[in-house]
């Protein structure tokens, strides 16, 4: 018999029941639902709303249900409308009189709002740890490549020399911001809406702070209509996850380019690449491609949530049941991508010589050549012009700035001396960029140290 059988004369149509039911996807909330119910029942007892025997039976029943689900002795009954009703009806089966008291002073509206916060709160911690692991890997690879010179790009055109370490630490910064963004989201999420009831609280003398305290939540929500119908925390989390995926996707794009035959900057470990069913020579960067592809779904999940919410009047509307699949998908996708991506980066081999060879061609030291003249007294714009002419000459005559004979340099300007070769060497160009945040090996080393301190842990 359904819960609302008192008001209804007919059973729910079977198709409508299947349509309406969220159990197939909200079953994953069972631990958090039980955790919330235990705190609620404790509060009801504490406030004298239910007696001790009722509380003890409810507590026993909920803990047994938790255990039975964990050990697969209890399986989800597909006919239940959602996880909240499934657990409540199971409790009532086990304790027919007192199980029925659990839902006193509570609605599924504040219950689901609480459950989702509790669930998302745990997921945030997991994802933060995965991001930390990834940053560790980036620090580890960077420490090995402080002196691996490479070409830096803007517009995907060769720009100025950097190191591979400098490039990787850029991503460590992004993922570190992701950790802090999740932390911000956590703060706003970690408040209890329980006690908001269906929309207008309750007439029972409940203690909302007591519940929040038991659940280790920092505060409670302060308007019951908002308490049941706020999904900002889900949207914020999803948004933070979309940014993580965007960062992963950018790095994926680089991994794909770097591992191409044209670049050969890196080689992926055989265990983290795939072959082709027809072309024997192929080694495909599937992980990076899938991560780049999967970023699309997480970005769309944010859009699903915002669009689902934007037209809803206060307070709860059933549309909100649609929040779960989008949020769960975003969480699952990020948790699927991070560890495998991390392992792929950890095991990749870096082709130091190839990066260096590429960096030495193509005039990425032209700015330094202009700076050389400027430091000898020329105005930067004049130095820039002369260097432009030099580059153009080199291209026509098949030289690079490192190999151009001194007489030719001097035919462009008398300020050029033997020390020009030192000034345009890759080492000088990179090592002299020791401004905070720059590519000089010493500077990047400090960035890595700083990152380790920020993480509050040792980097491997
Ligand atoms: N399964 C519902 C959801 O996820 C729970 C709340 C249902 N509330 C209601 N009044 N029908 O949103």
| Residue 406, domain CATH | 1.10.40.30
What is the structure's pLDDT at 460? 35
Report d(CA 92, CA 405) in Å as an integer. 91
Same domain, 80 and 186: no
Q: How far is the CA of 125 from the centre of ligand 1 (A)?
A: 26
Q: For a pocket test of ligand 1, which of 36, 82, 323 has the largest count of ligand atoms closer than 8 A to its C-beta?
A: 82
- Smallest CA separation from ligand 1 atom 2, residue: 321
Decide if 222 is inside a domain: yes
Q: How far does the centroid of ligand 1 lie from the alpha carbon of residue 230, in Å?
A: 13
454 shares a domain with 421:
yes
Ligand 1 atom, smallest distance to 198 CA: 10
Report the catalytic residues: 155, 276
Question: What's the pTM value of the predicted model, to 2 decimals?
Answer: 0.95
Atom of ligand 1 nearest to the CA of 22: 1
CA 338 – CA 182 distance, rounded (Å):
15
Query: Residue 277 and residue 279: Cα distance in Å, rounded?
Result: 6
Q: 151 with 144: CB under 8 angstroms? A: no
Please tell me whether residues 91 and 123 are part of one structural domain: no
Helix (H, G, I), strand (E, B) or coil at 217: coil
Which amino acids bring their CB within 6 angstroms of ligand 1? 22, 26, 82, 108-109, 112, 316, 318, 320-321
CA pair distance 46, 307, nearest whole angstrom: 41
Q: What is the CATH number of the domain that holds 218?
A: 1.20.200.10
List, as own/partner pairs, every contact residues 252-256 make where C-beta atoms lie below 8 angstroms and the sequence separation is at least 24, other chains included.
252/285, 252/287, 252/288, 252/289, 252/291, 252/292, 252/341, 253/288, 253/292, 255/285, 255/288, 255/344, 255/345, 255/348, 256/285, 256/288, 256/289, 256/292
Residue 314: inside a domain = yes
Q: Among 324, 348, 372, identify where a domain stops.
A: 348
Where do we find the tokens 């669930």? 119
CA distance 453 to 449: 6
- Based on the fold, state whether residues 322 and 374 are members of the same structural domain: no
Ligand 1 pocket, mutate which of 37, 81, 109 (most atoms under 8 A from CB): 109
Give, using CA atoms, the residue closest to atom 3 of ligand 1.
321
Residue 261 covered by a domain: yes
pLDDT at 4: 78
Atom of ligand 1 nearest to the CA of 324: 4
Per-residue model confidence (pLDDT) at position 458: 41
Rounded Cα distance, 310 and 428, in Å: 55
* CA of 82, closest atom in ligand 1: 1
Residue 5, in any domain of the structure: no
CA of 236 from ligand 1 middle (Å) equals 21
**Domain of residue 19, CATH code:** 1.10.275.10
Ligand 1 mutation pick, 321, 322, 328, max ligand atoms within 8 A of CB = 321
Which atom of ligand 1 is the closest one to the Cα of 320? Answer: 12
pLDDT at res. 316: 98
Domains held by the chain: number: 3
User: Looking at the domain assignment, is residue 3 inside a domain?
Assistant: no
Query: Domain range spanning residue 99?
Result: 14-104
Atom of ligand 1 nearest to the CA of 81: 1
| Closest CA to ligand 1's atom 12 | 321
Given ligand 1 and candidates 12, 37, 112, which is best to mutate, with the most ligand atoms within 8 Å of its CB?
Answer: 112
CA of 404 to the centre of ligand 1 (A): 75
Query: For residue 120, how far is its CA from the centre of ligand 1 (angstroms)?
Result: 17
Q: How far is the CA of 332 from the centre of ligand 1 (A)?
A: 22
> How much is the pLDDT for 180?
96
Q: What is the DSSP string of 73-92?
A: SS---TTSSSHHHHHHHHHH
Nearest of 387, 353, 368, 357 to residue 431 by alpha carbon:
368
Distance 65 CA to ligand 1 centre (A): 21
CA-to-CA separations, 177 to 132, 240, 328, 337, in angstroms, rounded: 11, 10, 22, 18
User: What residue ranges of the chain have pLDDT lower than 50?
Assistant: 458-460
In a domain, 158, yes or no: no
> Which of 76, 104, 132 is where one domain is finished?
104
Report strand pairing: 157-163 vs 149-154.
Answer: antiparallel
H-assigned helices in 310-405? 323-347, 352-360, 366-375, 380-397
Residue nearest to atom 4 of ligand 1 (CA): 321
Q: What is the pLDDT of residue 279?
A: 80
The reported pLDDT for the residue numbered 78 is 85
Could you tell me if 286 and 376 lie in one domain?
A: no
CB 116 within 8 A of CB 324: yes
Verify that 136 and 231 share a domain, yes or no. Answer: yes
Query: Are residues 113 and 83 part of one domain?
Result: no
């Amino acid at each position: 018999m359904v819960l609302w059988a008192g008001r209804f004369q007919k059973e729910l149509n079977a198709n409508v029941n299947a349509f309406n039911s969220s159990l197939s996807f909200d079953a994953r909330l069972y631990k958090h639902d039980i955790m919330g119910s235990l705190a609620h029942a404790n509060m009801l007892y504490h406030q004298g709303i239910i007696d001790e025997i009722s509380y003890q039976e409810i507590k026993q029943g909920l803990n047994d249900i938790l255990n039975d689900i964990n050990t697969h002795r209890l399986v989800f009954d597909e006919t239940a409308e959602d996880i909240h009703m499934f657990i409540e009806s199971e409790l009532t089966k086990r304790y027919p009189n007192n199980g029925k008291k659990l839902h006193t002073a509570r609605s599924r509206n504040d219950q689901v709002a609480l459950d989702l916060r509790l669930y998302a709160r745990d997921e945030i911690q997991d994802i933060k740890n995965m991001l930390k692991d990834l940053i560790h890997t980036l620090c580890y690879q960077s420490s090995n490549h402080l002196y691996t010179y490479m070409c830096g790009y803007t517009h995907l055109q060769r720009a100025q020399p950097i190191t591979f370490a400098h490039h990787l630490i850029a991503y460590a910064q992004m993922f570190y911001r992701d950790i802090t963004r999740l932390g911000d989201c956590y703060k706003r999420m970690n408040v209890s809406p329980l006690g908001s009831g269906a929309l207008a609280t309750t007439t029972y003398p409940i203690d909302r702070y007591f519940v929040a305290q038991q659940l280790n939540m920092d505060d409670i929500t302060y308007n019951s209509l908002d308490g049941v119908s706020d999904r900002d925390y889900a949207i914020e989390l999803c948004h933070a996850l979309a940014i993580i995926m965007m960062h992963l996707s950018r790095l994926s794009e680089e991994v794909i380019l770097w591992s191409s035959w044209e670049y050969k900057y890196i080689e992926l470990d055989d265990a983290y690449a795939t072959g082709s069913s027809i072309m024997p020579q192929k080694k495909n960067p599937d992980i990076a491609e899938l991560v780049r592809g999967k970023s699309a779904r997480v970005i769309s999940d944010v859009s699903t949530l915002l669009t689902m919410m934007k037209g809803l009047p206060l307070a709860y509307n059933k549309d909100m049941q649609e929040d779960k699949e989008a949020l769960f998908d975003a969480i699952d996708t990020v948790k699927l991508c991070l560890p495998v991506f991390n392992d792929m980066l950890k095991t990749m081999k870096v082709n130091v010589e190839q990066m260096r060879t590429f960096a030495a061609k193509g005039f990425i030291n032209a700015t330094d050549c202009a700076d050389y003249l400027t430091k000898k007294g020329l105005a930067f714009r004049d130095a820039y012009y002369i260097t432009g002419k030099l580059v153009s000459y080199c291209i026509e005559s098949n030289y690079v700035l490192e190999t151009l004979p001194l007489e030719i340099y001097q035919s462009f300007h008398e300020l050029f001396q033997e020390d020009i070769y030192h000034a345009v060497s890759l080492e000088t160009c990179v090592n002299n960029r020791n401004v905070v945040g720059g590519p000089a090996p010493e500077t990047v080393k400090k960035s890595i140290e700083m990152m380790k301190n920020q993480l509050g842990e040792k980097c491997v």
